[in-house]
A and B are shown apart, each in its own frame.
Chain A
């Protein structure tokens, strides 16, 4: 089946066309709004330099110093990021000349990345931002033939090519940089999505610390960071974008692996890169539907239950996936108490906790706080309030004390059984909202309103409902790509 699909692949005409076909970004007032978070903007500029510098080295005979001189050069840039967005073709002219069709795909998807972040970092209202992101997605898909599919693709399939794994094995330090960039590019979405403007910089303090202290250097990561693992709220609202960014990042991995494969000559590399592009193109999957498809094939468009923005992973079933650093997980259940999560029109009632490089969806503020308490480092908690349009964002210190810019926030915490936890653990924007809730729910009439400081110091009991998930093996990524052939 696989061979038949690949042999039948007809590369689209644009791949070999000599006509210039670059498309300029959508004209919009929000363009470059990312500079309202200056450190993030500059760090993203450095990511562009890092990508291009590594690619140029790989195609100009400098692969022998990729892990030393080139790595040092990239790290210097990451630590001294440029003020303005660089022209990647000026940094990687040989790469752009050799693989112009790939540059088109990368650049166009990177424009989508940049413009969606601009929207989130703009002054638009939350509703306007959502509409604008929908418009950007439509613009991205409709204006160029080289857009990447927004369908979930099977990552195990894409990462099982003959060349797969070469790059991460031969160049682990530079691969860690790539996956670190992709971690940041995924984590920044939930850092901003529906988050009050005055929490952006505070949140980026935590994200940036994690990025520079661990994510860029982690050579033991099992797999590339997936978008929905880092930004589940955004991925649930915009699954097509989440999938497209994962498919883009997988294309980066595939290209890296091809370029690092010394058994391929120049023509073979070009062919394999075109094949890799073809596999992730929107046009290749034109008649396919999300949630459908034959298992472990190119057209396996199943996704994790509860998360349409996440394709099938190595060793996963729709019910269960292995999440690096966390183990086996269900994306339908609270990661703290194992109860089913609110869904559909009540999905906004989910909380998330980000710490130690991962983000998990949980069912209530208690679940978020107590889960974060078990891990070292600073956490970001994103908690719904009684108002669907007012998200409470808490940034923690290393002792687990939280701060927020939402004045007057109070908490209900009258601990009972976890099937009801999202009723007895609740955040409110004001004491008046707390009193209204208690008057409408007399079972909590004896509850006291906790201030943020008081609530931060509470600790719940171990949920009787908690169940550690067990997969078929301890870690499906163990020895992935480390077989005797390599």
Chain B
């Protein structure tokens, strides 16, 4: 359905607002809503579209469907301050140099809590301790993308 478009990225530092409680575009489970103390909604932006996902894994796993440049706003340990992930000309990058990710869920019922972003390793450590995550591993963005996408999907 998507056709080839070039996109000049315009990045907001804050999470774009999305309204309706909808199923995740990828895993089809309902997107967990933001709370006053924790952001949960992952937003993938291209052009004027803002598509909601349940977790960082879902957004990256679904990214091959988009041929244009994209921005992923990944909820972090700070409310209203997502980790911003860019895919421009097929290359992945992040605005947060120290960003790390957790990607430890076994089934999608738990993806929203166990596939998330953090601005720092310290925030990651605090999160995994609080949630008693077994064998936690802090992934860099390139490691996360490699773990989620098959080689043919990376471009």
Interface residues, chain A, CB within 8 Å of chain B? 213, 335-337, 370-371, 373-377, 397-401, 456-457, 459-463, 466, 468
B109 CB, nearest partner CB in chain A, Å: 15
Q: Are A371 and B20 in contact (CB under 8 A)?
A: yes
Cα separation A245 to B32 with both chains bound (whole Å): 39
* A399 partner residues in chain B, CB cutoff 8 A: 5, 7, 46-49, 68
Chain B residues in 8 Å Cβ range of A463: 19
By beta carbon, the residue of chain B nearest A466 is B19
Residue of B nearest to A335 (CB): B20
Interface residues of B in 1-56 (CB under 8 A from A): 1-3, 5, 7, 16-22, 25, 46-52
A–B Cβ pairs within 8 angstroms, 18 of them: A213-B1, A336-B19, A371-B20, A373-B48, A373-B50, A374-B22, A374-B51, A376-B25, A376-B49, A397-B47, A398-B1, A398-B2, A399-B5, A399-B46, A399-B49, A400-B47, A400-B49, A459-B50
Chain B interface residue count, Cβ-Cβ cutoff 8 angstroms: 21
In the bound complex, how far is the Cα of B23 from the Cα of A376, in angstroms?
A: 13
Given contacts A377-B1, A398-B3, contact A336 B20 (CB under 8 A): yes
A374 touches B46 (CB 8 A): no
CB distance from B27 to the nearest CB of A (A): 15
Cα distance, A335 to B46, chains bound together (Å): 23
Q: How far is the CA of A36 from the CA of B143 in the complex (A)?
A: 56
Contact with A along B108-122 (1 / 0, CB 8 A): 000000000000000
B51 touches A370 (CB 8 A): no
How many angstroms from the CA of A176 to the CA of B52 in the assembled complex?
28
Given A401-B48, A460-B17, 10 new contacts (CB under 8 A): A336-B20, A370-B19, A374-B22, A374-B51, A376-B49, A398-B47, A399-B49, A399-B68, A400-B49, A456-B48
Q: How many pairs, one residue from A and one from B, have CB atoms within 8 Å of each other in the complex? A: 62
The 3 closest A-B pairs by CB, nearest first: A399-B47, A400-B48, A462-B17
- How far is the CB of B122 from the nearest CB of chain A, in Å? 30
Residues in chain A near residue B7, CB distance under 8 A: 399
Choose among B3, B20, B52 the residue with the greatest number of A CB atoms under 10 Å from its CB: B20
Whether A398 touches B5, Cβ cut-off 8 Å, given contacts A373-B48, A376-B25, A376-B49, is yes
Chain B positions 56-88 with a Cβ under 8 Å from a chain A Cβ: 68
State in angstroms the CA–CA spacing of A457 and B51 once bound together: 15
Report how far A468 CA is from B31 CA in the complex, Å. Answer: 13
Residues of B within 8 A of A377 (CB): 1
- Tell which of A337, A374, A456 touches B50, judged by Cβ atoms closer than 8 Å: A374
Q: How far is the CB of B144 from chain A (nearest CB, A)?
A: 23
Task: Report the minimal beta-carbon distance from A59 to chain B, rounded to whole angstroms.
Answer: 38
- Chain B residues near A457: list those with CB within 8 A: 48
Most buried by A among B17, B46, B49, B68: B49
Contacts of B52 in A (CB 8 A): 374
Which chain A residue shows the least CB distance to B25?
A: A376
Q: How far is the CA of A339 from the CA of B102 in the complex (A)?
A: 39
* Residue numbers in B under 8 Å from A213 (CB-CB): 1
A466→B20 CA distance, assembly (Å): 8
In the complex, residue of chain A having the shortest beta-carbon distance to the beta carbon of B68: A399
Residue of A nearest to B16 (CB): A459
Bound: A399/B2 CA distance, A: 9
Q: How far is B68's CA from A336's CA once the two chains are assembled, in angstroms?
A: 27
Shortest C-beta distance, A359 to chain B (Å), equals 15
Cβ of B140 to closest chain A Cβ, rounded Å: 29
Residues of A within 8 A of B18 (CB): 374, 462
Q: Are the C-beta atoms of B19 and A374 separated by less than 8 Å?
A: yes
Q: A213-B1, A399-B68 are in contact. Are A468 and B49 (CB under 8 A)?
A: no
Could you say which residues of chain B place their CB within 8 Å of the CB of A462?
17-19
- Which among A370, A374, A461 has the greatest number of chain B C-beta atoms within 10 A? A374
